A and B are shown apart, each in its own frame.
Chain A
Amino acid sequence: MIANEETFRRLMTKAQAGDKLCYSSLLTECEKWLRRYYARKINPAAIDDLVQETLISLHRKRASYDPARPFLPWLAAIGRYRWIDSLRKIYRHEHDQLYEDMVADPQNETVTAKVSLERLLDRIPPKQAEVISLVKIEGLSIIEASAKTGQSESLVKVNIHRGLKKLSAMVETE
């Protein structure tokens, strides 16, 4: 069970005022939410690091949350920013099986649909999204992605670079 938008907002507002108990609950709930958010959108081996980096970012940038506005779109913007940053860093991972039990099963369906990572990937050209998914998320090599997609190796690299650049510019896009 993950907290809803209103609970997140209330906990964050109290955390900004220095309430450690609320902050602890907030971070625990955010961790759960982020694990589902990132499921299938990053190599499973990288999820722990990414969730932790996002929580640290939340901590460092907590003053940038406006209590008058919804919490999850703010968290999702930070989550997307860290995710793209993480995709840039990942070059080659072991080809792990994706965790089937981590398929997103979010609450707050309407909000989550608007802030999802799928929606972001859908907005870049399919060829770019495809090679980003293959190389950066599933962990294929450039050569393997090239063979699978029919794109030349240099085109795979170019499409990854361009795709990540476009994703960076669209972090706040619904």
Chain B
Amino acid sequence: MMSDMMIDRLVEDLTPVKPLKNRNGFALTLVVAAILTALVAMIAGVRGDILMGMPHPMFFLRGGALLLLGLTSSYAVIAMSQPAVGNSFKGWIWALAAALLFPATAAVMAMMTLPGNMAILVPRYGFECLGVSMLGGLGIATVQVLWLRRGAPVALERAGWLVGMSSGALGAAAYSLHCPFNSIFYIGLWYSLAVATCAIVGRLLVPRLIRW
């Protein structure tokens, strides 16, 4: 029987394997994110208010929201390498909802009053935010894609969205250590754009890289 022959071949080909551990994949992501953040701090420099020991509250709110989004969605990505009917990792949805408060607040405020300092919406600064976030995100996305290729993700499009979103959020969190702007308009526009762009790029590229 054809299946018997194939089973014999598979058995012959058997070598011991170490089961994937989610915590290893997640730890790897954290290490890369930490290296990335250190690089941003060393190359671009740290915000003045942090150096003076008086960080602006917006720094914590922005960084916290990005970190939460980045970490929860990274965990979901890593967990997708071990498929099972009944798997459900939805923590990232709440983190995303919290992060969306920034662009939502910016949009509402913009309807009520124009931003006081229009310079913060000048593309030159925004593109720096976008570029650094995406570049950093690329490093994190590479680790995640390699991890997924070792595993067996079964929802490729969702994996693509999540890889893009998590790497973009962690890249933006790293950049926020340098970013001097505290305006809700700036954050609502450029940070949202950075995460959204990474998510779209992830959706378009990642499924092709992890298909099996």
Select B3's contact among A31, A63, A168, A172, beta carbons within 8 Å. Answer: A31
Residues of A within 8 A of B21 (CB): 66
Q: How far apart sit A171 and B86, CA to CA, in the bound complex (Å)?
A: 9
Given contacts A77-B154, A172-B83, A172-B85, contact A63 B20 (CB under 8 A): yes
A sample of 10 cross-chain residue pairs with beta-carbon separation below 8 angstroms, ordered by A number, consists of A16-B17, A23-B10, A55-B6, A55-B10, A64-B19, A73-B85, A76-B84, A81-B83, A115-B86, A172-B84
State which of A56, A78, A168 has its C-beta within 8 Å of the C-beta of B10.
A56
**A74 to chain B: which residues have CB within 8 Å?**
82-84
Per-residue interface assignment for chain B, residues 47 to 74, with 1 indicating a CB less than 8 Å from any chain A CB and 0 otherwise: 0000000000000000000000000000
| Cα(A81)–Cα(B211), bound, Å | 11
In chain A between 66 and 81, which residues have their CB closer than 8 angstroms to a CB of chain B? 66-67, 69-70, 73-74, 76-78, 80-81
Pair A169/B157 contact, Cβ less than 8 Å: yes
Q: Verify B85–A31 contact, CB threshold 8 A.
A: no
- Who on chain B is nearest to A171 by CB? B154
- Nearest-neighbour CB distance to chain A for B3, whole angstroms, equals 6
Q: How far is the CA of A174 from the CA of B84 in the complex (A)?
A: 9
17 other A-B residue contacts (CB within 8 Å) besides A27-B10, A64-B150, A172-B155 = A15-B14, A16-B16, A16-B19, A20-B14, A24-B8, A27-B7, A57-B212, A61-B152, A62-B17, A73-B86, A74-B82, A76-B84, A77-B87, A77-B152, A168-B156, A169-B155, A172-B88
Size category of the A interface is 35 or more
Known: A114-B85, A169-B158, A172-B83. A66 touches B11 (CB 8 A): no
Within the complex, what minimum Cβ distance (angstroms) separates B173 from chain A?
28
Residue of chain A at shortest CB distance from B156? A168
Q: With A18-B16, A168-B156 in contact, is A80–B85 under 8 Å at CB?
A: yes
Q: Residues of B contacting A174 with CB < 8 Å?
A: 85-86
A173 close to chain B: CB less than 8 A: yes
User: Which of these, A23, A48, A114, contacts B86 with CB under 8 Å?
Assistant: A114
DSSP majority for the B interface? Answer: loop
Q: Of all chain A residues, which has the CB nearest B88?
A: A172
B19 touches A67 (CB 8 A): yes
Q: Are A171 and B3 in contact (CB under 8 A)?
A: no
B18 on the A face (CB < 8 A) = yes
The residues of A that contact B212 with a CB separation of less than 8 Å are 57, 60-61
Q: Which of B104-133 contact A (CB under 8 A)?
A: none
Whether B150 pairs with A173 at a CB distance below 8 angstroms is no
With a CB–CB cut-off of 8 A, which chain A residues contact B6? 52, 55-56
Chain A residues, Cβ within 8 Å of B81: 64
Verify if B42 is at the interface (C-beta below 8 Å from A).
no
Q: Are B158 and A66 in contact (CB under 8 A)?
A: no
Q: Contacts of A15 on B, CB cut-off 8 Å?
A: 14
Query: Which residues does chain A contribute within 8 Å of B10, judged by CB atoms?
Result: 23, 27, 55-56, 59
Q: Quick check: is B43 within 8 A (CB to CB) of the other chain?
A: no
